[in-house]
Amino acid sequence: MSTPHRRRRGPLTTSLALAAAVTLAAAPVASAQSTAQPDGAIAVSSLGATNEIPGSVAGSLGSLAEPAYAEYVALGDSYAAFGDQSDVAAPCARSASNYPGQLDESPAVGELTDVTCGGAVTSDMFEAQHPGVAPQLEALDEDTDLVTLSIGGNDVGFGSIVGCITGGAPGSPRDCESELGSTVSGLIADVYGEDGAVDEIYAEIAERSPGATVIATQYLPLMPATDAAGCQFTQFIGTENLEWAREITQAINDAVDEAARRNGHVSALPVDSTDRSGCAPASERWVVFLDGSENNAASFHPTALGQQAMADAIAAAL
């Protein structure tokens, strides 16, 4: 039996300017400023030293006028569920250091109900994903006033994409765009397109929680934005797969943003001029490749630092 993570706070302060900074592993919080980009991404700047948290969730939420977000429900897949892999709840591999948990550290957020679950697809919003795991949308009610949503990556074949680009031999990568390109593009259009599965989820959120603010989260890119000299992983998968992986990630994130806006919401994605990909030094990564042991993160998923960056981007979007 898996139960959603819930945290109930005491009475909320009437002055959210007193919000304390979110902490992660006792690291100091960097001064950061977040600005919305034309594509819906949130740029996190002034990151400071590489071992610092990229921004303060409370720094953004603390400036909000009342009312606070008293009832927060987090919906989604492993990009929302995963954080520090030393503390995960089976069978969803949900970590307390994921971005919902880090947002919940702000006094501006009241009770968190976290039903994110690794491996979730759009149908798991409506149906039980595992025995004892309720459909995620059942966590919503008329009092819910904040919802975050990360969904669709598994529907469009995230696992197949990773399997292909890692499935070649050294010096002989597979041609993944030829193998999967048209299929993945079609799935993106079907899942995120008008009247597709994601639109159905938004409609159900509106029905169950008509007053909720909804933030969709895009997928943190695994690949560096530019060629990373000496990055063994990108050398292994080959230049063509690297370029296609960048393109397909952008296509998915564009679709996430378009669907959110079409339904009257916004999406969030932290971006930074510093490389935060799996090629970056361990202390700077927002994501990892196959071996996440240095960051205590699941393979091909965000690190705790990446989860914190997403939390800050959501706070900025609010």
CB 98 within 8 A of CB 24: no
Residue 90 lies in a domain: yes
CB 28 within 8 A of CB 43: no
Residue 242 lies in a domain: no
Residue 167 lies in a domain: no
Q: Residues near 263 by Cβ (< 8 Å), separated by ≥ 6?
A: 199, 202, 203, 206, 214
Q: Which two tokens stand for residue 276?
A: 């935060």
Residue 20 lies in a domain: no
> Phi/psi class of residue 185: alpha, beta or left (left: φ > 0; alpha: ψ in -120 to 50)?
alpha
What is the residue type of 94? R
78: annotated active-site residue: yes
pLDDT bucket at 15, cuts 50 / 70 / 90: very low
Kindly give the pairing relationship between strand 33-36 and strand 42-45: antiparallel
Q: Which DSSP symbol is given to 31? A: P
Residue 60 lies in a domain: yes
Output the domain CATH number for residue 204. 3.40.50.1110
Residue 161 lies in a domain: no
pLDDT tens-place string over residues 264-278: 999 999 999 999 999
Q: Residues near 19 by Cβ (< 8 Å), separated by ≥ 6?
A: 13, 58, 59, 61, 62, 106, 107, 108
130: annotated active-site residue: no
Catalytic residue among 2, 60, 78, 267: 78
pLDDT tens-place string over residues 112-152: 999 999 999 999 999 999 999 999 999 999 999 999 999 99
pLDDT tens-place string over residues 33-45: 333 444 445 444 3
Residue 159 lies in a domain: no
Question: Per the structure, how many domains does the chain have?
Answer: 1
> Cα–Cα distances in Å, from 200 out to 137, 188, 192, 214?
11, 15, 10, 14
* Number of Cα atoms under 13 Å in the Cβ half of residue 308: 28
pLDDT tens-place string over residues 160-214: 999 999 999 888 999 999 999 999 999 999 999 999 999 999 999 999 999 999 9
Domain containing residue 144: 29-151+192-223+253-317
Residue 231 lies in a domain: no
Against a cut of 0.85, is the pTM above it?
A: no
